[in-house]
């Protein structure tokens, strides 16, 4: 896990946000004093202030639109990922429903049990790991989930008591489930790093620019610069937070999965779904898994 992800997932937004603003204000203060050191005569201050203001308006417009759009892209990605989570939970619910409605209880129980185990794996292991700062799950972290699904698929296909139409329907839902799952566990940062590097340099340039705009009075200079820095930092903080959808203040929740799990439990009860054995035709219990 990178330090960046660690900070975002383990510290509250107000803490790292305040530190970011504080650092930015410190940098801004040093810039202001540097500029005042370069421009000591009153006429020079006035002149650079005028020209600097025009440049600030142009570059300010570029970055204002850019930051706004970046925020929009991050928000859009967040929303897409949320829809993907809902789809994933829905697919599990759909498969569960198909099994429940198309098979008798004895045939259905092992499959429902396997699906329930997979759902538990997603909610209590994978989601927790993702919320702990792992935006992309490692092979070891994702493999148990895949294995549950593989066992489930194989047992569905090898089962002679399920007809081809049901198998085909379950497979269609499984394909969608696999796609949604892959999007969730492979979720890379939606905004490429280069955008953050260039935005940081640009913000630094803007901070320099605003420092030269108001050199006439030190009080006005500091007040205006600080206002600017705080405003920009607030936008950055919100964009950084949205850009990491699994952790931070604005985060995706596992409530869709929990809802499906609750429904399963309501319909069948915990004993039915967690019993690892099933009845055969003679009423003797056997293990589901070898």
Partner 1 sequence: MITFNEILAKYSILTWGSGIIFIILLSQTVLIFFLEKYFPRKTMLKYNQIILDIFNVIGIIYAILYALLTFFVLNNFQQIENTLNAEVSTIGNIYRNMSLVEHENNIKPLQQQIYKYVEIIIYQELPYQKQGVINVKSELPGWNKLETISRMILKQPMNEFIKSKLIDNLNDLYQYRRDRLNSSSLQLPNGIWIITVLSILFMLMNLAIIGCSTLKSKMIAAYLLGISVGLMVILVAVIDRPFVSGDYINDQYYRNLLAHMVNMYGKEYFGLE
Binding mask 140-179 for partner 1 (x = CB under 8 A): --xx--xx--x--xx--x------x--xx--x---x--xx
Between 45 and 113, CB nearer to partner 1: 45
What is the number of other CB atoms lying within 10 angstroms of the CB of residue 241? Answer: 20
Q: Is 43 in the site for partner 1 (CB under 8 A)?
A: yes
Q: Is 65 in the site for partner 1 (CB under 8 A)?
A: yes
User: How large is the C-alpha radius of gyration of the chain?
Assistant: 28
Contacts of 74 (CB under 8 A, 6+ apart): 190, 191, 239, 242, 243
What is the number of other CB atoms lying within 10 angstroms of the CB of residue 71? Answer: 16
CA dist list (Å): 229 to 65, 82, 101, 222: 17, 32, 60, 10
Please work out the total of residues on this chain that contact partner 1, with binding judged by CB under 8 A. Answer: 55
Q: Which stretch binds partner 1 (CB under 8 A): 4-12, 58-66, 251-259, 270-278?
A: 58-66
Binding mask 90-129 for partner 1 (x = CB under 8 A): ----------------------------------------
Q: Which of 15, 19, 22, 62 binds partner 1 (CB under 8 A)?
A: 62
User: CB of 185 within 8 A of CB of 136?
Assistant: yes
Contacts of 179 (CB under 8 A, 6+ apart): none
Min. distance of Cβ 137 from partner 1 in angstroms?
Answer: 9
Tokens 């148990």 label which residue?
Answer: 144
Q: Is 82 in the site for partner 1 (CB under 8 A)?
A: no
Length of the chain: 290
What are the tokens at 265? Answer: 């439990």
List residues binding partner 1 (CB under 8 A). Answer: 38, 43-44, 47-48, 50-52, 54-55, 57-59, 61-63, 65-66, 69, 73, 77, 136, 139, 142-143, 146-147, 150, 153-154, 157, 164, 167-168, 171, 175, 178-179, 182-183, 186, 188, 190-192, 194-195, 198, 201-202, 205-206, 208-209, 212
């Amino acid at each position: 896990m990178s330090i960046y992800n660690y900070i975002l997932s383990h510290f509250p937004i107000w803490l790292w946000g305040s530190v970011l603003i504080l650092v930015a204000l410190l940098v801004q203060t040093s810039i202001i004093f540097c500029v005042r050191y370069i421009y000591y005569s009153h006429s020079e201050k006035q002149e650079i202030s005028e020209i600097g203001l025009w440049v600030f308006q142009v570059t300010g417009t570029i970055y204002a639109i850019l930051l706004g759009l970046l925020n929009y892209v991050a928000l859009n990605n967040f929303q897409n990922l949320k829809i993907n989570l809902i789809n994933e939970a829905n697919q599990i619910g759909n498969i569960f429903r198909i099994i429940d409605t198309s098979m008798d209880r004895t045939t259905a129980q092992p499959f429902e049990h396997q699906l329930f185990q997979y759902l538990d794996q997603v909610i209590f292991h994978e989601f927790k790991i993702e919320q702990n700062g792992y935006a992309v799950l490692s092979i070891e972290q994702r493999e148990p989930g895949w294995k549950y699904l593989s066992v489930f698929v194989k047992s569905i296909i090898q089962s002679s008591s399920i007809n081809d139409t049901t198998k085909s329907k379950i497979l269609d839902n499984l394909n969608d489930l696999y796609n949604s799952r892959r999007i969730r566990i492979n979720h890379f940062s939606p905004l490429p790093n280069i955008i953050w590097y260039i935005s940081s340099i640009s913000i630094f340039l803007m901070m320099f620019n605003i420092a030269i705009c108001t050199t006439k009075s030190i009080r006005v200079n500091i007040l205006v610069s600080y206002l600017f820095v705080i405003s920009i930092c607030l936008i950055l903080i919100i964009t950084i937070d949205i850009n990491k959808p699994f952790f931070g203040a604005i985060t995706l929740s596992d409530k869709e999965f929990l809802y499906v799990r609750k429904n399963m439990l309501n319909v069948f009860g915990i004993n039915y779904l967690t019993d690892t054995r099933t009845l055969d035709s003679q009423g003797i219990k056997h293990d589901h898994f070898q």
